[in-house]
Chains A and B, each alone.
Chain A
Amino acid sequence: MTSETLVEINDLNFSYGRHAILKGINMTMPRGKVIAIMGGSGCGKTTLLRLIGGAVAPSSGYVKIAGQVVHELSRDELFQMRRKMSMLFQFGALFTDLSVFDNVAFQMREHTNLPESLIRDLVLMKLNAVGLRGAHKLMPAELSGGMARRVALARSIALDPLLIMYDEPFTGLDPISLSVIGNLIRRLTDALGMTSIVVTHDVQESLKIVDYVYFISEGVIAAHGTPTEVRESIAPFVHQFVHGEEDGPVPFHYPAESYASDLRLRSSFA
């Protein structure tokens, strides 16, 4: 089993200052699977991806990728590891001063000595995989949101990584682009034998394409399971999330003092 595990997260804790974000997360992500991480906005999903990518260090616990503890790596070792992984940022984060072609070619030019003619072929292949070969001359400002997301996807598979992390890949897309991206994630994962971690709150779309789901709530894993298990789950939290109910175990309100004291009402009025 361990040889099959790519990412192992063990008792991971993280806080910004005194504000605890993640409290004792445990996850196991096997190679070649698509894993979804779901939870409300602000529950720490992006933070978890940043921990996996080594952009921030945990307060305790660890993330292990292919047997290496991420936060114990030196900067050089971390950079070596990052060549094997990619992150798709929420808004694509395409380099605005480079064309679509140059964006996809960026890592090939930075990390390899491939001749320009080969880079050209590879870039066009990657763009073809996301259906945007014809757009290779455009600048990022000329793309729609869905196209930018697809270019970013092509860029993140440029060096055939072992692991790709997608931060809310479905947000702000129309239903067609949304299922296009969803299917791409599934197809690329299978075709390239990668492992994908998809952070999302789009339950319906992601349940179609993922192999396993973790729900995070209030810094802990509230539930986890395969899509079938999740759909049939009667756990109140999962039910609320899957069916999009407004109130339930996930509170509508950000933690605050009592409403009355915030409005400076005397106790006799409250």
Chain B
Amino acid sequence: MPRRIVIGIRGIGHRVIDSVWRLGRASRFFMLMLLKSTTSLRRFNLVIREIYFTGVLSLIIIVVSGLFVGMVLGLQGYETLQKYGSESAVGTLVALSLVRELGPVVAALLFASRAGSAITAEIGLMKATEQLAAMEMMAVDPIARVVAPRFWAGVISMPFLAAMFSTVGIFGGYLVTVVLIGVDEGSFWSQMQNTVDFRYDIVNGVIKTCVFGVAVTAIAVFEGYDAPPTAEGVSGATTRTVVTSSLAILGLDFILTAFMFRGMS
């Protein structure tokens, strides 16, 4: 049926145009937000308040998850390494896995689902209940007053949360392998110190968390600001924040890893 085919192609075309259109809107929004960030910097207490809501409230989930991930890494690492008689390297394995990959990625995924979704829902609801329109009528720019502080708070919180995740994770690995299984404590720490490189491992890990922080919060604030002003609109936007930012984190992680750790050792 040629008519069906035409309609199908037209549908695909519409989807593509819509996505490009949305991407353009998102970029424009992002630039505007950066331009209007001076208020956030001048009145930094606005950002601090949001750091409390996004960062501090994510701490518990980050700490608990970090502990478990580190403990599992310790167990699995010990299982495999002891076959080769090198169980003292388990500290290295735990630390490198966490600092290079799991810390940034898992912390960012948790951050997206805990804080990112909350940011989208909050901004979306403010829009749906005309709070943003009211602010605009009061001659206060909602992008400068509501959006930018939340963005910067997320960007600032993310590296600390990831660092927290890795630190607690290493402690979890220590608990399982040294305290429970009985790996030699001295070699656990000294191997770790010798092999984890500040420039390659830690700095690269921190760069990753910063990139993820920008990606997650930028997606979260845009989805909230762009949400249709209805209950379904806001709930759809919240879901999209989690899905889109999770995919963005994993995709960006691959690209960053390819550039950072290529041709090392």
Question: B131 contacts A91, CB within 8 Å?
Answer: no
Complex A-B, nearest 7 residue pairs according to Cβ-Cβ distance, in ascending order: A93-B134, A82-B139, A79-B139, A93-B130, A87-B137, A89-B130, A83-B139
CA distance A121 to B125 in the complex (A): 31
Q: What A residues does B79 contact at CB under 8 A?
A: none
Q: What B residues does A87 contact at CB under 8 A?
A: 134, 137
Return the CB mask of A32-55 against B: 1 if under 8 Å, else 0: 000000000000000000000101
Contact A55:B133 (CB < 8 A) given known A96-B126, A110-B145: yes
Does any Cβ of A come within 8 Å of B27's Cβ?
no
- Number of A-B contacts defined by CB within 8 Å: 48
Return the CB mask of B118-137 against A: 1 if under 8 Å, else 0: 00001001100111011111
Question: B129 contacts A86, CB within 8 Å?
Answer: no
Does any Cβ of B come within 8 Å of A99's Cβ?
no
Does any Cβ of B come within 8 Å of A177's Cβ?
no
Does any Cβ of B come within 8 Å of A59's Cβ?
no
Q: What B residues does A80 contact at CB under 8 A?
A: 139
Question: B130 contacts A91, CB within 8 Å?
Answer: yes
Interface residues, chain B, with chain A CB atoms under 8 Å away: 122, 125-126, 129-131, 133-141, 145
CA distance A82 to B140 in the complex (A): 9
Question: B139 contacts A93, CB within 8 Å?
Answer: no
B138 nearest in chain A by CB position:
A107
Question: A93 contacts B133, CB within 8 Å?
Answer: yes
Question: A96 contacts B131, CB within 8 Å?
Answer: yes
Contact A89:B133 (CB < 8 A) given known A80-B139, A96-B125, A110-B140: yes
Does any Cβ of B come within 8 Å of A106's Cβ?
yes
Question: B139 contacts A111, CB within 8 Å?
Answer: yes
CA distance A19 to B181 in the complex (A): 75
Question: B138 contacts A93, CB within 8 Å?
Answer: no
CA distance A83 to B138 in the complex (A): 6
Interchain nearest-CB distance for B131 vs A (Å)? 5
CA distance A80 to B122 in the complex (A): 28
Chain A, interface size category, equals: 20 to 34
A106 nearest in chain B by CB position:
B138
Does any Cβ of B come within 8 Å of A237's Cβ?
no
B49 nearest in chain A by CB position:
A97
Selected contact of B138 from candidates A78, A82, A94, A97, CB within 8 Å: A82
User: Which of B122, B129, B141 has its CB near the most chain A CB atoms (within 10 A)?
Assistant: B129
Question: B134 contacts A89, CB within 8 Å?
Answer: yes
CA distance A39 to B133 in the complex (A): 23
CA distance A96 to B133 in the complex (A): 14
Return the CB mask of A66-96 against B: 1 if under 8 Å, else 0: 0000000000001110110111011101111
Interchain nearest-CB distance for A22 vs B (Å)? 19
Q: What A residues does B130 contact at CB under 8 A?
A: 89-91, 93
User: Which of B130, B135, B137 has its CB near the most chain A CB atoms (within 10 A)?
Assistant: B137
Q: What A residues does B129 contact at CB under 8 A?
A: 91, 93, 96
Interchain nearest-CB distance for B249 vs A (Å)? 28
B137 nearest in chain A by CB position:
A87
User: Which of B129, B133, B136, B139 has its CB near the most chain A CB atoms (within 10 A)?
Assistant: B139
What are some 26 contacts across the A-B interface (CB < 8 A)? A55-B133, A55-B137, A78-B139, A79-B139, A79-B141, A82-B138, A82-B139, A85-B137, A86-B138, A87-B137, A89-B133, A89-B134, A90-B130, A91-B130, A93-B129, A93-B134, A94-B131, A95-B131, A95-B134, A96-B125, A106-B138, A106-B140, A107-B138, A110-B138, A110-B145, A111-B139
Q: What B residues does A91 contact at CB under 8 A?
A: 129-130
Q: What A residues does B122 contact at CB under 8 A?
A: 97
Interchain nearest-CB distance for B31 vs A (Å)? 16
Question: B137 contacts A86, CB within 8 Å?
Answer: yes
Q: What B residues does A55 contact at CB under 8 A?
A: 133, 136-137
